[in-house]
Amino acid sequence: MLNNKVAIVTGASRGAGKAIAARLTTEGAKLAIIGSTEQIHESAKELIENGADVLSIQADVSNEQQVKAAFKQTLDHYGQVDLLVNNAGLGFFKPTEETTLDEWQHVFAVNVQGVFLCTKEILPFMKEKKTGTIITISSDVGRRTIANAAAYTSSKYAVQGFIGSVAQEVQKYGIRAGTINPGAIDTFFANSRQGESHKEDWLKVNDIAEAVCYMASAPKHMVVDEIMLHPLSQEYPRI
């Protein structure tokens, strides 16, 4: 379903973003992967060694000029973009009164402003082509709240609202937009390490990658608005 499609994946240096990129290449997609550090080029090298067609770009998704340059480079290189995966994000756990303004603004700059800038940048191209899919990796805390994560939770509520509005704006152009909302994932979130023993029963990064492929491969007449994923070991309030 994704053969010869071109996808942009942000935050693809490691963790879920790297797994998403690798999974998309197995479906035949060509990729532009974006990361904020030089590690993005090492991730691309691994994919290329496995036969993938990958362009790596070091850029900060919260910086408008860097986003514009990255998307222009992608379009100049491939001539098209069929799928955008907004994966870049960060978070931390800290009581509200201990959270600094710089920390609050940094979380919103990456998690919300980054999603806004990347989505805004690709929309004119997708509207012209009257096709395209935008998938944003959000979180289950975009649908509920938890203690000691006010900045992160607030940013994910903002992402849900933004993508919900975008989806309604672009439906008439044949463009689909949705979110994937995972619970606990074994990754590098909040400066932790992937593979720690207490995360043994958590979601794996490949679970997120599979969800992205499912959403991206949906029939053209169908949009998957939202996917919620949780490990069995996680307690989660259900309606």
Active site (catalytic) residues: 152
State the DSSP H helix or E strand holding residue 13, giving kind and residue range, or none if neither: none
235 — phi, psi (to 5°)? -75, 130
Instruction: Using alpha carbons, list the distances in angstroms from residue 151 to 51, 86, 101, 148, 226.
Output: 40, 19, 10, 9, 22
Measured between alpha carbons, how far is 87 from 192 in angstroms, rounded to an integer?
A: 18
Alpha-carbon torsion angle 159, 132, 59, 214, nearest 10:
70
Count of CB atoms situated within 10 Å of the CB of 101: 7
Q: Are strands 6-10 and 30-35 parallel, antiparallel or unpaired?
A: parallel
